[in-house]
Amino acid sequence: QVQLVELGGGLVQPGGSLRLSCTASRSIFTIDPMGWYRQTPGKQRELVAVIRNSGSTNYADSVKGRFTISRDTAKNTVYLQMNSLNPEDTAVYYCNGYVYPRTYWGQGTQVTVSS
């Protein structure tokens, strides 16, 4: 069992920023890849960003240039820095990590972008 806990969601105005964190119950060296997904009512969960132990990253086209995924191995934590937020970014954001033979998910944190 792997536990992933997300923090940092909240209400922010358009153009603002938030930093999400995902803390794992074990070394993130053993969790590869890790990523962030988001989901809005009536829509499928979609990939936002992924990071591998190699350092490689991937981003959804909708967030590329605005969001940055990073990691702090000493804290067993992956971050998602979200800048230039717009209402379309409103969603529940979920942390994800792969440990053979399955994928683990956090409980999610709500991000609301509204004026």
pLDDT at 42: 87
Strands 102-105 and 46-51: unpaired
Phi and psi at residue 40, to the nearest 5°? -115, 155
Q: Is the dihedral of CA 80, 83, 84, 86 positive or negative?
A: positive
Tens of pLDDT, residue by residue over 6-57, are: 999 999 999 999 999 999 999 999 999 999 999 998 899 999 999 999 999 9
CA distance 108 to 38: 9
Judged by DSSP in three states, 83 sits in: coil
